[in-house]
A and B are shown apart, each in its own frame.
Chain A
Amino acid sequence: MSEPERPQEGDAEQAPGSQVPAERTGGDYAPSVAERLALFQRAGGIATPLLTAAFAFFVGGLVVLVTTGKNPLRTYQAIFDGSGLNWLFPWITSEERTLAAFNLQYTLLLTTPLILTGLAVAFAFRCGMFNIGGQGQYTVGAVVAVWVGSSFAGMAGVAHALLAIVLAVLAGALWAGIAGLLKATVGAHEVISTIMLNWIALWVGSFLFTLGGPLQDSDQPGVPVSGSVQEGAKLLVFWGEPELQGLHIGLFVAIGALVAFWVMLNRTTLGYEVRAVGFNPEAARYGGISVARNYFLAMAISGAFAGLAASLDVLGWQFRISETDVQISQIGFIGIAVALLGRNTAVGIGFAALLFGSLLNGASTRNLDPEIFKPELAGNLTLLIQGLIVLFVGADVLVLYLWQLRRRVKLRVARAGT
């Protein structure tokens, strides 16, 4: 899951006879932050996220065992089956397969926006900023998408969908761009400003769809919900029944966004600047890079990903948004966990989004047998695992310790062998 551009592990080890870098001879007892991070990155290529997830599931399992007395392994298996991932197994019966396909479609339906909100957090991270505003940017994008999608009745289908998507993307970019602009100009911390923007988005969205609100559906005056997206503007469903929330082509857009994310960061001068600013703004400035400009751009691009996520959800399977939807949506926040677990890399985010999509769906009320685990508790188990993952991702010292332990053991084994 490591970045493709990263040197392979061991690349930095010297060829025999070459000069030994001071850092490697153990000169410093206390490694510098940079060294620690470098080690962490090398150790963490794929081991850290896997370890992190394993830890989280282990502790989650303990909680299941202690609080309910249920078998955690059976619970996890039920969640796995509920996510529809067993569709991949060749040995299941055709009856099971039908159900699994249905479940998997819904899992991937949830994975799609999670990939994009994960990217929204990750892109800002790569520029050294913590975008907590994915949720607000998602909400703004959703409002724009549903407004455009439900208006312009006469428009040609594809153009209509494209217009809705583009405007939603721009709305998300604009919303995040406000935070970027504030940081670039007056140095307002992006964590504070994006949180505030989240609340503004939430209450503006609620107001728009509430009873008598400007965007409330005029055909159903008693329901606080938006109008429906025009038939023509809906995204094509390529797997499953469109009426039963089949899988729409937005999944490919999200996968395309993963590729775009990688390309932007590693193959464009913009990405070079973003990464330079993210790693060391002082060196970037010295290199002739405008740090302020990159803060703004990186935030705007982050917001664009979140806006895209919202437009795909609205045009792909939700088609309308209620006041409650605006208030309870968590897609943007889960994106933070996705980005952290995926270590801000394209491939990592793809897998992390799938993991969280599976958890959300697999642990949902409709997919869990109450005999095995109470579904109303299962939702909390998802939150629990999500929280544990965020917690363990922060515990880099622990991971480092385990990594060094592993090396020490390896060394001892090697010495015993000679």
Chain B
Amino acid sequence: MDERPVLELRGITKRFPGVVANDGVSLDLRRGEVHALLGENGAGKSTLMNVLYGLYHPDEGEIRLAGEPVRIGSPKEAIERGIGMVHQHFMLIPVMSVAENIVLASEPRHAGLLLDYDAARERVRELSRTFRFAVDPDERIENITVGQQQRVEIMKALYRNADILILDEPTAVLTPQEASELFAILATLKDEGMSIIFISHKLNEVLEIADRISVLRRGRLVETVPREGATEESLARSMVGREVLLRVEKRLASPGEPLLELEGLHVLDDRGLAAVRDVSLTVRAGEIVGLAGVDANGQSELIDAVCGLRSVHGGVVRVAGRAVTGANARTMLDIGVGHIPEDRQRRGLVLDFSLAENIALHDYAKAPDSRFGWLFPSRLLARARRLLREYDVRGGGPQTRASALSGGNQQKVVIAREVDRNPRVLLAAQPTRGLDVGAIEFVHRRLVEERDEGRAILLVSLELEEVLSLSDRILVIYEGRIVGEFTPAASEEELGIAMTGGGRREEVAA
């Protein structure tokens, strides 16, 4: 490995009104290395990379490419200097083909006028072969998977001869399988001499892929360490600035009476196809039952059906012994089913509402929030003030719009609302999605506390680690069926096999 840095950032400072997003950050990137940039949401990772990519101009500090100080005024200049960036949100045109997207803005042309599509396709093929991307150049973007779209973004950078590649939280949108495919591609790129900056807040993947790791906290560089010797614990400590419990500490569950019972549940998806098939399960008071599975195997439909947001096609739903199959969302809320939805921005919050209004979302029509249809905003505010303090929500007060909060704080608001209603059954769908370690720790601790309060918690998560550390029992769902039950002592491999349909039905425990 060549030790000469291809890129150096020296003392980069970037201020926004009221905020120092980057405070004298220095780091260097060597040829053929994967350099991970680790930090909590809002630590300044993206800002730093946007400075490098020419989207922002630093207030202080300089950027050196191969030892030469440069000024990068725009993304166009960054691309010309061989820097490519893959954003979290892809910038692709859905109705155009892969090849068209890749060559966009620097197309090979016939007579300098017309798109030479054959040449474009050929070059994309070449790239695809060299780096084993396995993407069909003629397929339309809207028809390929998210993982493939990401590869198209990477190919866009390669097509423009990038030798430095910035990936902004690339795994946030990927399934675990797609993530490991991405890592294989990154390894190939590295071998070809590419230098890669990998932005993430996930400790395990940083330790898996990075050669060196730089940790940012509140705009400052805390440390740059080689992977060797770094542990999840040590990285989490520098990221958050204190000891973080990565493993959830919890006592043994003492399950009570069954609070949620499903018998032979059948649910259809939006297209009218069977999504949940003959699912029977029981969640008792004081236990967390984890529902593990690869995304889109019926988990969302199952949760929706239980909380009255989707009609039940067959079977029985019982809450605290009472059959409530097919009841609407209002009834489910009233009999004590709480629901932390998987998508807090689309469903869990009205982003344009204030936090106080969001916290009242289920109870606005009851005393003390309102009486005879008359709303009392001051009471909404008072309750919100109490809950925001209790749940340590930062970044705004009761009057702040929900959209102004970071993801972790938004999730805290959702959890505060659901838990404060004292539900008997709590459905937690991907409760830590997109959160950083500090917030994850909070959510996990809170869920265990609620379990100890005697609630029945059904946890749906795509993160195996989360399911394993939180659950008292684990059910595996595959193609809408429960295909296995495990104890938390099970290994990730065992679960992984069952999740991909490899488990045999006969092995299902009682």
Candidates A28, A37, A279, A286; contact of B347 at CB < 8 Å? A286
Q: Which of A16, A26, A290 has the most CB of B within 10 A?
A: A26
Candidates A27, A268, A287; contact of B47 at CB < 8 Å? A27
Chain A residues 9 to 54 lying within 8 A of chain B, measured CB to CB, are 11-14, 16, 18-30, 34-35, 37-38, 41
Please tell me if A259 contacts chain B, counting CB pairs below 8 Å: no
Cα-based distance from A301 to B397 in the complex (angstroms)? 33
User: Which A residues are CB-close (under 8 A) to B17?
Assistant: 13, 407, 411
Please tell me if A275 contacts chain B, counting CB pairs below 8 Å: yes
User: Which A residues are CB-close (under 8 A) to B405?
Assistant: 21
User: Which A residues are CB-close (under 8 A) to B361?
Assistant: 276, 283, 286-287
A287 touches B351 (CB 8 A): no
Please tell me if A329 contacts chain B, counting CB pairs below 8 Å: no
Q: Can you list 25 contacts pairing A with B, beta carbon distance less than 8 Å?
A: A5-B377, A7-B399, A11-B399, A12-B400, A20-B19, A20-B406, A22-B41, A22-B406, A23-B404, A24-B16, A26-B21, A34-B345, A38-B401, A267-B374, A268-B375, A269-B364, A269-B375, A272-B375, A275-B353, A276-B353, A279-B351, A282-B346, A286-B329, A287-B361, A290-B330
Minimal beta-carbon separation of A17 from chain B (angstroms): 10
B375 touches A7 (CB 8 A): no
Please tell me if A270 contacts chain B, counting CB pairs below 8 Å: yes
A34 touches B364 (CB 8 A): no
Chain B residues 284 to 337 lying within 8 A of chain A, measured CB to CB, are 309, 328-330, 333
User: Which B residues are CB-close (under 8 A) to A280?
Assistant: 346-347, 349-352
Minimal beta-carbon separation of B370 from chain A (angstroms): 5
A26 touches B373 (CB 8 A): no
Please tell me if A271 contacts chain B, counting CB pairs below 8 Å: yes
Report which A residues bind B (CB closer than 8 A): 5, 7, 11-14, 16, 18-30, 34-35, 37-38, 41, 266-273, 275-276, 279-280, 282-288, 290, 407, 411
Of all chain B residues, the one with the shortest Cβ separation from A278 is B352
User: Which A residues are CB-close (under 8 A) to B21?
Assistant: 20, 25-26
Of all chain A residues, the one with the shortest Cβ separation from B333 is A288
Please tell me the size bucket of the interface on B: 35 or more
Please tell me if B188 contacts chain A, counting CB pairs below 8 Å: no
Take A14-B395, A269-B364 as given contacts and tell me if A25 and B19 are in contact as well, using a CB distance cutoff of 8 Å.
yes
User: Which A residues are CB-close (under 8 A) to B218?
Assistant: 20
Minimal beta-carbon separation of B248 from chain A (angstroms): 23
Cα-based distance from A413 to B362 in the complex (angstroms)? 47
B403 touches A38 (CB 8 A): yes
B407 touches A270 (CB 8 A): no
B347 touches A282 (CB 8 A): yes
A283 touches B347 (CB 8 A): yes
Q: Is the interface of B mostly helix, strand, loop or mixed?
A: loop
Please tell me if B55 contacts chain A, counting CB pairs below 8 Å: yes
Of all chain B residues, the one with the shortest Cβ separation from A271 is B375
User: Which A residues are CB-close (under 8 A) to B409?
Assistant: 19, 21
Cα-based distance from A38 to B333 in the complex (angstroms)? 30
Cα-based distance from A34 to B46 in the complex (angstroms)? 20
Minimal beta-carbon separation of B352 from chain A (angstroms): 4
Cα-based distance from A275 to B361 in the complex (angstroms)? 11
B370 touches A269 (CB 8 A): yes
A13 touches B47 (CB 8 A): no
B406 touches A23 (CB 8 A): yes
Report which B residues bind A (CB closer than 8 A): 14, 16-19, 21, 41-42, 44-47, 50, 55-56, 87-89, 91, 218, 309, 328-330, 333, 339, 341, 345-354, 357, 360-362, 364-365, 370, 373-375, 377, 394-397, 399-401, 403-407, 409
Of all chain A residues, the one with the shortest Cβ separation from B18 is A13
Cα-based distance from A14 to B18 in the complex (angstroms)? 8
A24 touches B401 (CB 8 A): no
Cα-based distance from A198 to B197 in the complex (angstroms)? 59
What 10 A-B pairs are tightest by C-beta distance, nearest first?
A287-B361, A27-B46, A12-B404, A288-B330, A19-B394, A7-B399, A21-B406, A22-B406, A22-B42, A34-B351
User: Which A residues are CB-close (under 8 A) to B377?
Assistant: 5, 266-267
User: Which A residues are CB-close (under 8 A) to B87?
Assistant: 29-30
User: Which B residues are CB-close (under 8 A) to A287?
Assistant: 329, 361-362
What would 14 more interface pairs be, CB under 8 Å, given A26-B50, A38-B352, A280-B352? A7-B400, A12-B395, A12-B401, A14-B395, A19-B394, A19-B406, A21-B406, A29-B50, A29-B55, A280-B350, A283-B349, A283-B361, A286-B339, A286-B361
A267 touches B375 (CB 8 A): yes
Of all chain B residues, the one with the shortest Cβ separation from A272 is B364
B42 touches A20 (CB 8 A): yes
Minimal beta-carbon separation of B466 from chain A (angstroms): 21
Minimal beta-carbon separation of B351 from chain A (angstroms): 4
Minimal beta-carbon separation of A394 from chain B (angstroms): 19
User: Which B residues are CB-close (under 8 A) to A16?
Assistant: 18
Minimal beta-carbon separation of B342 from chain A (angstroms): 11
B350 touches A276 (CB 8 A): yes
Cα-based distance from A267 to B379 in the complex (angstroms)? 12
User: Which A residues are CB-close (under 8 A) to B399?
Assistant: 7, 11
User: Which B residues are CB-close (under 8 A) to A288?
Assistant: 328-330, 333, 362
Cα-based distance from A401 to B61 in the complex (angstroms)? 28
B19 touches A24 (CB 8 A): yes
User: Which A residues are CB-close (under 8 A) to B348?
Assistant: 283, 286
B46 touches A11 (CB 8 A): no
User: Which A residues are CB-close (under 8 A) to B91?
Assistant: 30
Of all chain B residues, the one with the shortest Cβ separation from A37 is B352
Cα-based distance from A283 to B365 in the complex (angstroms)? 16
Cα-based distance from A34 to B401 in the complex (angstroms)? 11
User: Which B residues are CB-close (under 8 A) to A19?
Assistant: 42, 394-395, 406, 409
Of all chain A residues, the one with the shortest Cβ separation from B349 is A283
User: Which A residues are CB-close (under 8 A) to B350?
Assistant: 275-276, 279-280, 283-284
User: Which B residues are CB-close (under 8 A) to A7?
Assistant: 354, 399-401
User: Which A residues are CB-close (under 8 A) to B401?
Assistant: 7, 12, 38
Take A26-B16, A288-B329 as given contacts and tell me if A20 and B47 are in contact as well, using a CB distance cutoff of 8 Å.
no
Minimal beta-carbon separation of A111 from chain B (angstroms): 30
A270 touches B373 (CB 8 A): yes
Take A25-B44, A266-B377 as given contacts and tell me if A12 and B396 are in contact as well, using a CB distance cutoff of 8 Å.
yes
Minimal beta-carbon separation of A163 from chain B (angstroms): 26
Cα-based distance from A418 to B91 in the complex (angstroms)? 38
Minimal beta-carbon separation of B167 from chain A (angstroms): 14
Cα-based distance from A23 to B400 in the complex (angstroms)? 14
Minimal beta-carbon separation of A180 from chain B (angstroms): 19
Candidates B42, B352, B373; contact of A21 at CB < 8 Å? B42
B400 touches A279 (CB 8 A): no
User: Which A residues are CB-close (under 8 A) to B395?
Assistant: 12, 14, 18-21
User: Which B residues are CB-close (under 8 A) to A13?
Assistant: 17-18
Of all chain A residues, the one with the shortest Cβ separation from B371 is A269
B46 touches A28 (CB 8 A): yes
User: Which A residues are CB-close (under 8 A) to B47?
Assistant: 25-27
Of all chain A residues, the one with the shortest Cβ separation from B85 is A29
Cα-based distance from A269 to B365 in the complex (angstroms)? 6
Cα-based distance from A389 to B407 in the complex (angstroms)? 37
Of all chain A residues, the one with the shortest Cβ separation from B357 is A272
Candidates A38, A283, A407, A411; contact of B404 at CB < 8 Å? A38
Cα-based distance from A35 to B21 in the complex (angstroms)? 19
Cα-based distance from A25 to B357 in the complex (angstroms)? 25
A269 touches B373 (CB 8 A): yes
Cα-based distance from A3 to B309 in the complex (angstroms)? 32
Cα-based distance from A343 to B218 in the complex (angstroms)? 38
Candidates B45, B347, B353, B394; contact of A18 at CB < 8 Å? B394
Minimal beta-carbon separation of B495 from chain A (angstroms): 29
Cα-based distance from A51 to B364 in the complex (angstroms)? 37
Candidates B16, B354, B400; contact of A25 at CB < 8 Å? B16
User: Which B residues are CB-close (under 8 A) to A283?
Assistant: 346-350, 361
User: Which A residues are CB-close (under 8 A) to B329?
Assistant: 285-288
Of all chain A residues, the one with the shortest Cβ separation from B354 is A7
User: Which B residues are CB-close (under 8 A) to A269?
Assistant: 364-365, 370, 373-375
Of all chain B residues, the one with the shortest Cβ separation from A270 is B373
Cα-based distance from A27 to B49 in the complex (angstroms)? 9
A286 touches B404 (CB 8 A): no
